[in-house]
Homo-oligomer: A and B are copies of this chain.
C-alpha cells in the first residue's frame, strides 16, 4: 500500500489546547508533487453502550458547543494520558450516569474524521448495570441529563435528529442488528 503514502516534508505546530492540537503539514504526494494537510491531534476517546435489564440504552443529553445545540448520545469521554480505554469506559459510565457494571466488553474502535483528525473512539458494551453509591461526578464543566430509551424510542430520537452523532447511530443500529439476528 506504500505507493499511496504521503511523506512529511515539514510540520508547523499552530495550536495546542486542553483537548486538541492543530498542525500544518507540507507533504510529498505519491506523484512527487507537494500539498498541505491540516491535521488535528486528539488523545482518543471511549463511548459506552450500556444496556439495562429491560433492554433500554443508557443515554445522556448534553449541550455541544461545537454544534450550538443539545443532542442525545451514549456516554463518552476523552482518554486521560496513559489511561487504559476499558478503565476510561468504566470511569465515564460512572461519572456521567452513576452506573457501574458487571460486564464490560470491547465492541469496535473507529476513527471519527480521518480526513483531518486522528480521533479514535473505542466503543464498549456494558451489561449488568448497578447504581454506584457515592458515584464519581462528571467534570466540573460538564452538565448532562440521564435518559434510558428503548430501541423504539431511540429510532424516534434518530428520526427527530436528537440522536445525531456517529457513535450513537452506530450503537442503535448494532442493537437493531442483534434483535434482527435473534428472530
In the complex, which residues of chain B have a beta carbon less than 8 angstroms from the beta carbon of A158? 108
A52 contacts the other chain (CB 8 A): no
Q: Which of B65, B109, B110, B167 contacts A39 (CB 8 A)?
A: B65
Query: In whole angstroms, how far apart are the Cα atoms of A154 and B29 in the complex?
Result: 28
Judge whether A33 and B141 touch: CB under 8 Å.
yes
In the complex, which residues of chain B have a beta carbon less than 8 angstroms from the beta carbon of A121? 166
**At the interface, is chain A mostly helix, strand, loop or mixed?**
mixed
**A113-B108 contact, Cβ under 8 Å, with A14-B14, A141-B33, A174-B173:** no
| Interface hits, A33-70 → B, CB 8 Å | 33, 35-40, 42, 45, 61-67, 70
Q: How far is the CB of A118 from chain B (nearest CB, A)?
A: 5
Judge whether B67 and A114 touch: CB under 8 Å.
yes
Judge whether A141 and B35 touch: CB under 8 Å.
yes
A10 contacts the other chain (CB 8 A): no
Among residues of B, the one whose C-beta sits closest to the C-beta of A163 is B110
What are the 5 tightest A-B residue pairs by CB atom distance, in nearest-first order? A180-B180, A35-B141, A166-B166, A4-B63, A37-B65
- Beyond contacts A170-B170, A177-B180: 5 other A-B pairs, Cβ-Cβ < 8 A, are A30-B63, A67-B111, A108-B169, A113-B119, A173-B174
Interface residues of A (CB under 8 A from B): 1, 4-6, 8, 14-15, 17-20, 22, 24-25, 27, 29-31, 33, 35-40, 42, 45, 61-67, 70-71, 73, 76, 78, 108-119, 121, 140-141, 143-145, 158, 161, 164-167, 169-170, 173-174, 176-177, 180-181
